[in-house]
């Protein structure tokens, strides 16, 4: 009895069982604590747990949208346990798991309205996830929010390094890259040869229309991969490869609002959180960012299909 009364369940937000059942949940949380190719600060394997732990302090009611997104259901999978696999083999394992979740092998379960949100772990996980979504959504495009281009063909003798993520994704899915502040000459030349759309952070600062330009380059169905080093280190210091000159909270939310209204976000991941001992703010920021985007997606659906907004004003008790 004590445990039921005082300890929150180990799921995203710590929500009650009636709102965290797989069949009835719109949002699915997949923690993937995989870390093998990180090249600077270690610790991304601890990111998923830190986000889930911090999420229990996020207010249920979102004052901006007027929603309590958890009421649509948020199911948290057990962690996808890392194994002693090569990065390529781990990508394939993630692909198989994500494909099953997306409904490829579950014809009796309708997942078409569900949204899978994956928590990294290092950025390498995105390759397998996008591959699974591309199997289901033929007209898919990917939006990368990141400080780094991640376009190397190989890094530290691995083609599946976190520094090669977008090079691998480019092989099977179109994408747009936003917020880049670190790119090698080889990556820049590859992007130019292949006409990859990259929005460098320096040029975006003076470009008032960059948000609409980015959205205009995306297909109707979008997979979002958000490396937390897209954000400025002043608000997100807990990343493996921090870069100055990043984006702040309000402008990031402004962009995600516009994106969610004009495109259908069918899934996303948040990667590269390296929790800092004694500083839980970055973990909480990541958790709240996830919950905010849930609210934006629900608002889009309400406005498009019902023309009204819903949402109880009841707060966490």
Give the pLDDT score at 306.
64
Q: Which domain holds residue 265?
A: 22-305
Could you give the angle at the alpha carbon of 56 between the alpha carbons of 128 and 252, nearest 5°? Answer: 60
Give the pLDDT score at 139.
96
Give the pLDDT score at 301.
87
Q: Would you state the structure tokens that stand for residue 270, as one six-digit string?
A: 């948040």
Q: Please report, for the domain that includes residue 148, its CATH number.
A: 3.40.800.10
In a domain? residue 77: yes
Give the pLDDT score at 40.
72
In a domain? residue 116: yes
**R_g of the chain computed on alpha carbons:** 19
Burial of 221 (0-12, 13-18, 19+ CB in 10 A): middle
In a domain? residue 126: yes
Residues 6+ apart with CB under 8 A from 258: 211, 212, 215
In a domain? residue 315: no
In a domain? residue 17: no
10-residue stretch averages of pLDDT, the chain, 317 residues long: 52 94 94 83 91 97 95 95 82 94 60 84 95 95 97 84 94 98 97 97 91 98 98 97 96 97 97 96 98 95 65 44
Domain tally for the chain? 1
**Global pTM?**
0.91
């Amino acid at each position: 009895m004590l445990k039921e009364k005082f300890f929150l369940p180990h799921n995203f937000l710590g929500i009650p069982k009636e709102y965290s059942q797989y069949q009835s949940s719109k949002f699915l949380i997949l923690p993937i604590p995989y870390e093998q190719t990180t090249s600077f600060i270690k610790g991304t394997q601890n990111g998923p747990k830190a986000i889930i732990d911090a999420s229990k302090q996020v207010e249920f009611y979102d004052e901006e949208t007027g929603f309590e997104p958890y009421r649509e259901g948020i199911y948290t999978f057990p962690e996808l346990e890392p194994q002693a696999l090569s990065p390529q083999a781990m990508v394939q394992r993630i692909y198989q798991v994500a494909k099953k979740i997306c409904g490829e092998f579950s014809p009796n379960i309708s997942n078409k309205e569900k949204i899978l949100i994956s928590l990294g772990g290092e950025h390498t996980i995105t390759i397998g996830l996008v591959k699974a979504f591309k199997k289901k959504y033929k007209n898919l495009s990917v939006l990368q929010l990141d400080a780094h281009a991640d376009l190397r063909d190989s890094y530290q003798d691995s083609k599946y390094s976190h520094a090669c993520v977008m090079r691998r994704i480019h092989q099977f899915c179109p994408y747009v890259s936003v917020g880049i502040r670190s790119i090698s000459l080889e990556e820049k030349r590859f992007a130019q040869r292949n006409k990859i759309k990259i929005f460098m952070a320096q040029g975006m600062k003076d470009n008032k229309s960059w948000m609409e330009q980015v959205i205009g380059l995306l297909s109707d169905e979008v997979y979002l991969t958000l490396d937390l080093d897209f954000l400025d280190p002043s608000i997100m210091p807990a990343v493996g490869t921090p870069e100055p000159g990043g984006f702040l909270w309000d402008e990031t939310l402004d962009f995600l609002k516009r994106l969610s209204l004009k495109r259908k976000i069918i899934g996303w991941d948040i990667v590269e959180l390296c929790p800092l001992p004694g500083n839980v703010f970055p973990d909480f920021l990541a958790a709240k960012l996830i919950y905010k985007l849930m609210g934006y997606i629900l608002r889009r659906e309400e406005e498009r299909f019902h023309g009204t907004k819903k949402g109880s004003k009841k707060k966490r008790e």
